[in-house]
Amino acid sequence: MLTLKKITPYNLFVKWPKIIWRRLKEKIKNSRLRMLLFHNQPVMLEDIYGIKSILYPWDTTPLEKLISRKIYREEIAAIKKLVRAGDIIFDVGANVGFISCFLARLTGKNGKVYAFEPVAETFHELKENLAINRLENVLVYRLAIFNEKQSIMMNLFEQKYSSWNSLGKPKFKELSPMAEEEVAAEMLDNFCQEQKIDKINFLKIDAEGFDKYVLLGAEELLRGKKIEYLSFEISEIPLKGSGVKAKEIFDVLKSCGYQSYKFDLGQDKFVGPVDDSNEFLKNYYASYHDLAKL
């Protein structure tokens, strides 16, 4: 704190201006002005989990959010209870790869992560982030996971909102898709059969309203209890854009012998089972095991 007792020519003209500028600079770097004032080329960041990522000039996400990963805390706590060293993991809707990187570290050198991202530009960022983290146990596929093998159109947002890219047409308050891209779609049942994968220990799904169709394309795996644990996302706006009700996702899982649960971060445990959701945005977890006993 600056006090009158400390007023000297040195403090007034040298020390205090430096302190004020340093604090102002940090505030600017956490605002949109940083793009104009501090970098016009990609730079590398490292978050609190030690995971590196590329920050592009167009990405105006506050640095504090990129480094703290606060929005992932609940998901990470839940995943750590389900994933073990040596696991086979699928990341459907990997986006730029933060969760893929985290999963790869959990499963270790004896495990493997299969990461799926259909959109060309986002797929490039995914590979870039995996490379700078030197993760050799991740296999990447430029594929949409669906309930049919076909070509399908993706609706794309600006790259800084690439996590909202969807097979549907979500209507956000001030944002709309700006382009379309034709992508290849595959079923998990087919993929696992072709790759001779007998079991998935953990399946993460973030398909922006199309999680139901990912599950429908994996019914053989689910009915055969070949997917031990899975997570899926309930997100109100993408679900409306896909014409799917939240309960339909729970019903597909229930019909295959799986129960679904919430994760309570405060209690550090899974709560449920539950069979519907009215949450605006929430991750859920499912298994043929009783997750409430973990």
Q: Nearest 5°: phi and psi at 279?
A: -70, 150
CA 208 to chain centre: 11
| 154, 78: one domain | yes
- CA Rg value for the chain: 22
Angle at 163 between CA 179 and CA 107, to 5 degrees: 140
Contacts of 217 (CB under 8 A, 6+ apart): 145, 146, 147, 148, 186, 187, 188, 189, 190
pLDDT band at 1 (very low <50, low <70, confident <90, very high): very low
Say what the pLDDT of residue 161 is. 65
Identity at 194, one-letter amino acid code: E
147 belongs to a structural domain = yes
Q: Is there a single domain that holds both residue 137 and residue 272?
A: yes
pLDDT by residue (tens digit) across 257-281?
999 999 999 999 999 999 999 998 8
At 35 the pLDDT is 46
Total number of domains in the chain:
2
pLDDT in tens, 201-241: 999 999 988 899 999 999 999 999 999 999 999 988 877 87
Same-domain check for residues 193 and 268: yes
Q: Does 100 score more than 60 pLDDT? A: yes
If pLDDT is split at 50, 70 and 90, which confidence band does 32 have?
A: very low
What's the order of all strands across the beta sheet hosting 200-205?
A: 138-141, 112-116, 88-92, 200-205, 227-235, 281-287, 259-264, 269-274
Same domain for 50 and 64?
yes
Whose tokens are 């870039």? That residue is 128
- Is the model's pLDDT at 38 over the cut of 80? no
Question: Which domain-ending residue is among 39, 68, 97?
Answer: 68
Mind giving me the DSSP string for 201-236? EEEEE--TT-HHHHHHTTHHHHHTT-EEEEEEEEEH
Say what the pLDDT of residue 181 is: 85
Residue 210 lies in a domain: yes
Residue 39 has pLDDT above 60, yes or no: no
Residues 60 and 143 in one domain: no
Same domain, 175 and 218: yes
pLDDT digits (tens, 9 = 90+) for 179-207: 778 999 999 999 999 999 999 999 999 99
Q: How far out from the chain centre does Cα 78 lie?
A: 14
Q: Which two tokens stand for residue 211?
A: 């999680």
Q: How far apart are CA 265 and CA 91, in angstroms?
A: 22
User: Is position 217 within any domain?
Assistant: yes
Could you tell me if 224 and 84 lie in one domain? yes
pLDDT value of position 288: 98
Same-domain check for residues 188 and 238: yes
What is the residue type of 28?
A: I
Q: What is the pLDDT of residues 148-162, one digit of tens each?
A: 999 998 777 766 666
The pTM score is 0.84
User: What amino acid occupies position 162?
Assistant: S
131 token code pair: 């490379």
35 and 75 part of one domain: no
78 shares its domain with 61 = no
Last residue of a domain, one of 68, 97, 121: 68
DSSP-assigned beta bridge partners for residue 282: 234
What is the distance between the alpha carbons of residues 198 and 200, in angstroms, rounded to a whole number? 7
Domain span including residue 252? 71-293
46 phi/psi in degrees, rounded to 5: -130, 130
Average of pLDDT values for 84-92? 98
Cis-peptide, bond into residue 273, ω within 30° of zero: yes
Please indicate, yes or no, whether residues 43 and 86 belong to a single structural domain of this protein.
no
Is residue 167 over pLDDT 80? Answer: no
Residue 173 has pLDDT above 90, yes or no: no
